[in-house]
Each structure stands twice: as structure tokens, then as C-alpha cells.
């Protein structure tokens, strides 16, 4: 199967590192004109240079930052809502401001962008909206309830939007990675397991946390998630919409998608 996204413009939010960066690279390799996004102008410029695309520095975790991005980029064909934050914290110690911050960054960033771009896609008769959710959206992590809440919300938002644009040629889906070896996870590992090399940290995490249920017996790599994102963005995935698509290495113990 040859995926060809030539002539399509793709925006990937939070794409200066991790899954977002890998998705930007994969979409560019498939021929898309990729727009890289992040908060740091220097990192955005460097990532855009790496993929041969354009960069827009804007904080989509705020209404103002989202409006600025839209001002600079009025239309896209492929929207990958990847921006997100996570943190481990006991659930009864999470203050109101953390709940609100996680919701605004992880959920409203994608809602605001999809609210602008998706109707325009529908009028043109083709488009792809992809929310990068998480397996945490279907099995809430005890130490990251605020994160899991936002990922569950993305599933509901994605399904509802898919229903709204039924029959228009636009698809809306969620991709659900399992624990992935991203920069953020590596930083978390350094806090959990200081002094160990990344391979040893990965094995400790697999042994001591929910990732122990992975059928791969390792963490996901960003490029593996990017492959699913690229497929969902393609013409070949035209019959896939309103779905939650796992890239979790079999971590979620279910036979249903």
C-alpha cells in the first residue's frame, strides 16, 4: 500500500518532539505539506526545517494562541490534535487549577481547532481530523486521573464530531497510544529511576507500572504511533471514522476496538 498525501496540508500540534514530531515527519514523507506547531519559536523552526515544512509558534493550550495559529493558517486538510500534557499526582491532591489546565490544554486545544477547520473541510468534501488520545482514556491510570479524564473526553468529542460531519468526506478519529518512549516519558523516568540508563528505566517501568500488561513487553516508539496517524490521514482510511484506534501494544485487555 502506497500512501500519497501530495497536495494535502497537514497541521500537527505539539510537533517539536515525541509523537508529534514523528507524525510530522511521517506525513511529510508521505508527501503532505506539513505545518509544525509548538510554543518555542526556535524549536518550531528547527522541527519545520527537519521536515521541510512550515512552522507556526503558538500556544494552542490557550484561546489566544489558537486564534493566532488560525490567523496564520486559515485552512488545512489534515488536523492532528497532538498537543498534550501529563503528570503523576495522587488524585485527592490535584487542585482545581490542575484539572482546568489539563482540560484546556488536552481537550479544548483540539476542540477549538476542529471547530474552525472541520466545517471548512466538509464544505470542500474531504478532510481528516485526528485526536491523539491514549489508552489512558479507556483504563484510567490511578496516578494520572486528571490526564485520563482528558483522554476519555477526547473520545467523546471525536465521536460526536464524526457524527456531525457524516457523509461529507471528512473523517474524525482518535488514535490511542500506549506508554510511549517520548521526551516527556524519558524525563519522567529520570525522576522515577535516577541514575539508570534508558533501557534499565524502561524495564523497571514495565515491571512496576500498568505497562506490565503490554503484549509487546516494551514501550511504544513514536514512529509506530506516527504510522497509524499517517494511515488514518490517508485516502485508504476513508471508511474509518468515529473510531478509537489502539496503538498500545495490546496493553488494553479487550477484543473490541
**103, 117, 147, 205: which one is catalytic?**
147
Task: Decide if 123 contacts 169 (C-beta within 8 A).
Answer: no
To the nearest 10°, report the CA torsion of 45, 109, 146, 183. Answer: -10
Residue ranges per domain, the chain? 9-180+222-242, 182-219
Percent of the chain with pLDDT over 90: 88
What pLDDT shows up at residue 192?
A: 86
Is pLDDT above 90 for 256?
no
Query: Rounded distance, CA 238 to CA 209, Å?
Result: 36
* 206 has a pLDDT exceeding 80: yes
9-180+222-242 has which CATH code? 3.40.50.720
* 244: pLDDT strictly greater than 80: yes
Does residue 257 register a pLDDT over 90? no
For 27-81, how does the pLDDT look when each residue is reduced to its tens digit (9 = 90+)? 999 999 999 999 999 999 999 999 999 999 999 999 999 999 999 999 999 999 9
pLDDT at 210: 80
Residue 16 pLDDT exceeds 90: yes
User: Which of residues 197 and 257 earns the better pLDDT score?
Assistant: 197
Return d(Cα 56, Cα 111) in angstroms, integer.
19
* pLDDT at site 46: 98
Contact predicate 248/169, CB 8 Å? no
Residue 231 falls in the annotated catalytic set: no
Amino acid at each position: 500500500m502506497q500512501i500519497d498525501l501530495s497536495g494535502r496540508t497537514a497541521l500537527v500540534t505539539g510537533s517539536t518532539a515525541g509523537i508529534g514530531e514523528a507524525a510530522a515527519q511521517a506525513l511529510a514523507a508521505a508527501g503532505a505539506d506539513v505545518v509544525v506547531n509548538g510554543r518555542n519559536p526556535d524549536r518550531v523552526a528547527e522541527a519545520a526545517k527537519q521536515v521541510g515544512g512550515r512552522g507556526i509558534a503558538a500556544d494552542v493550550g490557550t484561546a489566544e494562541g489558537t486564534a493566532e495559529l488560525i490567523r496564520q493558517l486559515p485552512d488545512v486538510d489534515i488536523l492532528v490534535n497532538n498537543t498534550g500534557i501529563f503528570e503523576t499526582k495522587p488524585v485527592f491532591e490535584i487542585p482545581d487549577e490542575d484539572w482546568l489546565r489539563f482540560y484546556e490544554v488536552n481537550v479544548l486545544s483540539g476542540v477549538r481547532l476542529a471547530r474552525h477547520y472541520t466545517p471548512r473541510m466538509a464544505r470542500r468534501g474531504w478532510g481528516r481530523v485526528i485526536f491523539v488520545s491514549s489508552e489512558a482514556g479507556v483504563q484510567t491510570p490511578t496516578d494520572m486521573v486528571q490526564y485520563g479524564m482528558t483522554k476519555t473526553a477526547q473520545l467523546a468529542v471525536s465521536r460526536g464530531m464524526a457524527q456531525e460531519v457524516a457523509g461529507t468526506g471528512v473523517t474524525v478519529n482518535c488514535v490511542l497510544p500506549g506508554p510511549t518512549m517520548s521526551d516527556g516519558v524519558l524525563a519522567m523516568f529520570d525522576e522515577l529511576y535516577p541514575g539508570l540508563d534508558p533501557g534499565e528505566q524502561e524495564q523497571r517501568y514495565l515491571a512496576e507500572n500498568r505497562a506490565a500488561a503490554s503484549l509487546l513487553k516494551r514501550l511504544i516508539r513514536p514512529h509506530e504511533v506516527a504510522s497509524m496517524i499517517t494511515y488514518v490521514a490517508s485516502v485508504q482510511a476513508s471508511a474509518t471514522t468515529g473510531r478509537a484506534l489502539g496503538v498500545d501494544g495490546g496493553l488494553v485487555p479487550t477484543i473490541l476496538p
